[in-house]
Amino acid sequence: MSSLSASETVETVDVPATPKMIDKQKESRLAIKVEDLHLYYRTKAEANPTLKAALIRKAKRQKVEQKVIKAVDGVSFEVPHGTVLGVIGHNGAGKSTLLRALSGILPPTQGRVEVRGRVSTLLALGVGFNQNLTGRENIILGGLAQGWSKDQIREKENAIIDFADLDMLSEGAMDRPMKTYSSGMYARVAFAVGVHMDPDILLVDEALSAGDARFKEKATEKMLELCENARTIVLVSHGLETVRHMSNHCIWMDHGHLVQSGDPDEVIDAYIEQQRKDREAADAKKRAAEAAEAKEDQALAAKAERTKEALHKAIGEDV
Ligand SMILES: Nc1ncnc2c1ncn2[C@@H]1O[C@H](COP(=O)(O)OP(=O)(O)OP(=O)(O)O)[C@@H](O)[C@H]1O
């Protein structure tokens, strides 16, 4: 049996990491992995619904054609733990749908979503609250759903109530049914519950938009604190400056596609530039349509004038 004495030296050689090793290390740091994700909605809405069309369809026993909306159409990206990922894009770009898939609410139509860790979702409407229960009762319900002990619930309940600070807005609000809350009060409770669930991954969808400036500031601070503790945050927002300030990676979605992914400043600037170009193109189109309409009016007026002249000529009068 051989052993090394203190005087013996051992040469260590740095073995270069193989691509496979690097891939494995990278994989272990991933919080979210989205591969060729497609999410489609099927609706039965008619393009131009009229009573007549509906009656004819019924008489002919025709079915309303199903329309497929490709809300997310072939999106892939990876999010390492500790990232604050900003998701930006126009109305209807597919941001909320993507977030619903990450939270597990929507199963993929095609492709794969892998989320590693405890997820807490903050959707704009605070999905999951029972409107007829008070804010306090909803907190307890949330705690029970998380499997917290009685002591944990009591401790977190106080922290959540302190954070939401509804008393400052309306005394005793925590003990009133949530259906009586304003959207801002609702957002406060939703945010306070979400961040106190101690999530590894926090999904935030415009949940802050209903809060007032003071609460937004407090919420931003709390999110940065979570991030410092290596938690992962996905933030969907139209507040470009909030995304710029908070995130360290950003993706831009457009009509269900991922247009750009990278440094928030670069992606946000490119998005703003594209918005400016789109606005310019829309203005130019409007101006061209107005010019064409004016030309048509002029042509019609000239034609009417010629007709008038011809008429007067026919009856032998001067115009
Ligand atoms: N429940 C639904 N049924 C059918 N279509 C839907 C549904 N939800 C969203 N859509 C459609 O899917 C597309 C993407 O919508 P989504 O809400 O994901 O966009 P978004 O980027 O979050 O928009 P916004 O910024 O306006 O919130 C849109 O065309 C929308 O009309």
Interval between CA 6 and ligand 1 midpoint (Å): 68
Domain match, 242 and 281 both? no
Domain match, 221 and 295 both? no
- Block residue for tokens 């990676």: 249
Please choose, from the candidates 299, 263, 259, 251, the residue with its C-alpha nearest in 3D space to the C-alpha of residue 278: 259
Helix (H) or strand (E) holding 293: helix 264-314
| 23 or 153: which leads in pLDDT | 153
Last residue of a domain, one of 264, 286, 305: 264
Determine the average pLDDT of the residues in 200-229.
80
125 lines ligand 1 (CB under 6 A): no
Q: Could you give the number of structural domains in the chain? A: 2
The pLDDT, as a whole number, for residue 20 is 58
71 lines ligand 1 (CB under 6 A): yes
pTM value is: 0.76
3-state secondary structure of 256: coil
In the predicted model, is pLDDT for residue 8 greater than 50? no
88 lines ligand 1 (CB under 6 A): no
Q: What is the pLDDT of residues 125-140, one digit of tens each?
A: 556 788 899 999 999 9
Mutation test residue for ligand 1: of 67, 97, 127, 240, the one with most atoms within 8 Å of CB: 97
ipTM exceeds 0.95: yes
Print the domain residue range for 90: 80-107+114-264
* DSSP classification of residue 177: B
Domain match, 142 and 221 both? yes
